[in-house]
Amino acid sequence: MKKIITALSLIIASSLSHAQDFQGMAVYESKTSTADFKSRIAENKDITPEMRKTIEERMKKAFEKTFILNFDKNASIYKEEERLDAPGSQNNGMRMMGSFMGGGGTHYKNIKDKTFTIDKEMMGKEFLIHDSLPKLDWKLGQETKEIGGYMCFKATAMQKASKTDFRNFRMKKRDEEKDKKEAAAEKNKPTNFMNEGEMPKEVEVVAWYTPEIPVSQGPEGYYGLPGLILEVSAGKTIILCSKVVMNVKDKKEIKAPTNGKPVTQKEFDEIVTKKMEEMQQMYQSRGGNGGGMHIRMGN
């Protein structure tokens, strides 16, 4: 079987090398587990069933998305599929949350130049993030499975968790939050479950790639494997390819976005962190109990 796959890969690679205008398209479904959020919301007696339903509906929109990847041999653009929302259904806060959940803007990466460019909107301002592609130390395995008719191989790596990707946000264990004395002192205060979370330092990435499509591309910022990545599991998020079209007739222009204030990834993370701190201080000054996202980094 492996000899057949290798031979097929060589044939496809040879045909792609002669097709200068080759382009493919893949559809990905991204889903992030919200089980820990839902269980913590259910425990909060201050949240009514109606409020809980509204929160869960908004979380579903933020944590479940469809993306389109258009790619050639050297570059790709990854963008959330456009969908029509009811008028007024999305305010600035929801758009901001959506961008932190992997959506919003265009994610361009050039595997030849090893660079990426992403346009992001935050609080009404456009940013153009341009930086070097992070290199993952992939460990190739022999385990295989079939995805959409393609034979895929497993690869794993450890990835530094982004400080501005809140799909990595997780709830702290109850016995790690406060000792009994502190908990008793605050038992009558409204609970803000966002104050009970943290961000990990790194997450394990499990990818499944197919040598039958010998391009080193994948969803989001993932790349660097000897075949198109059809599935990625990172932390609580799974991104699964549901459709692949090779040599598409309706070719897209694969180029980096240009609108927005140019920043590096580090600069963008610092801007977001500062803005969130300002928002938390604003809530506290209004007499809230730290209504902003008080997130502990690390672990």
The pLDDT tens digits for 286-295 are 655 444 444 4
**What is the overall mean pLDDT for the chain?**
78
Indicate the length of the chain as a whole number.
Answer: 299
- 40's enclosing H/E stretch is helix 35-43
Residue 299, pLDDT above cutoff 60 = no
Decide the pairing of beta strands 24-32 and 64-71: antiparallel
Range of the domain at 25: 2-297
Phi, psi of 226 (to 5 degrees): -80, 55
* pLDDT score for 32: 87
Residue 124, pLDDT above cutoff 60 = yes
Lowest mean pLDDT among 64-73, 92-101, 271-280: 92-101
Q: If you ran DSSP here, which 8-state letter would residue 201 be given? A: S
Closest CA to 59 of 21, 103, 87, 101: 101
Strand, helix or coil at 50? helix
How many domains is the chain partitioned into structurally?
Answer: 1
**pLDDT above 90 as % of the chain:** 43
Q: How confident is the model at residue 164 (pLDDT cuts 50, 70, 90)?
A: confident
Q: If you ran DSSP here, which 8-state letter would residue 123 be given? A: T
Which of 38-47, 84-93, 168-177 shows the highest mean pLDDT? 38-47
Phi, psi of 275 (to 5 degrees): -65, -40
Residue 189, pLDDT above cutoff 90 = no
Closest CA to 193 of 36, 16, 10, 19: 36
* pLDDT score for 297: 42
How far is residue 79 from each of residues 130, 220, 262, measured CA to CA in Å? 16, 9, 19
Lowest mean pLDDT among 64-68, 111-115, 186-190: 186-190
**pLDDT above 70 as % of the chain:** 66
Q: How confident is the model at residue 196 (pLDDT cuts 50, 70, 90)?
A: low
